[in-house]
């Protein structure tokens, strides 16, 4: 199988002399690969998960630095894959959204990714309006 578009690390896992069943994720942990055709997806899904978890940590720091108080001004109610949901006071909702986008961008910079990473936010009255 030709893997010309894949990174050298992925190629080594699939075909290299030291063939193994794992890749190294953004945060250094082992990502176990069930089979060769899952390698790229494993790497991308792992990167996305680590990036969003890191962004969540950065968000809470940024929110505190901005004077926002969790439980008073906002509360995080969901974090699934590449989505985070918050309940926020109406006068704080835009600020919370902007801070989370900034946190995503900072997480990409933290891992020195070669392409910019960003996000978007929506303010609404329910999940259907914000998803």
Express each pLDDT in 55-109 by its tens digit: 999 999 999 999 999 999 999 999 998 899 999 999 999 999 999 999 999 999 9
Instruction: Give the confidence band of 8 by pLDDT, cuts at 50, 70, 90.
Output: low
State the Cα–Cα distance between residues 104 and 99, nearest whole angstrom.
9
Using alpha carbons, select from 115, 122, 110 the residue that is nearest to residue 27.
Answer: 110
Domains parsed from the chain with CATH numbers:
8-130 (3.30.70.370)
Answer for the pair 31, 25: CB distance below 8 angstroms, yes or no.
yes
112 phi-psi bin (left φ>0, alpha ψ -120 to 50, beta other): left
The pTM is what? 0.84
Helix axes 8-15, 39-65, angle to 10 degrees: 140
Helix (H), strand (E) at residue 95: helix 93-110
């Amino acid at each position: 199988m030709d893997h010309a578009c894949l990174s050298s690390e992925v190629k080594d896992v699939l075909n290299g002399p030291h063939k193994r069943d794992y890749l190294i994720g953004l945060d250094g942990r082992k990502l176990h690969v069930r089979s060769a055709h899952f390698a790229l997806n494993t790497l991308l899904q792992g990167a996305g998960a680590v990036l969003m978890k890191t962004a969540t940590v950065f968000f809470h720091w940024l929110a505190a630095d901005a004077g926002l108080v969790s439980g008073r001004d906002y509360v995080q109610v969901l974090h699934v894959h590449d989505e985070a949901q918050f309940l926020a006071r109406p006068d704080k909702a835009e600020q919370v959204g902007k801070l989370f986008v900034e946190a995503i961008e900072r997480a990409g910079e933290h891992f020195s990714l070669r392409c910019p990473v960003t996000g978007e936010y929506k303010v609404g009255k329910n999940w259907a309006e914000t998803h």
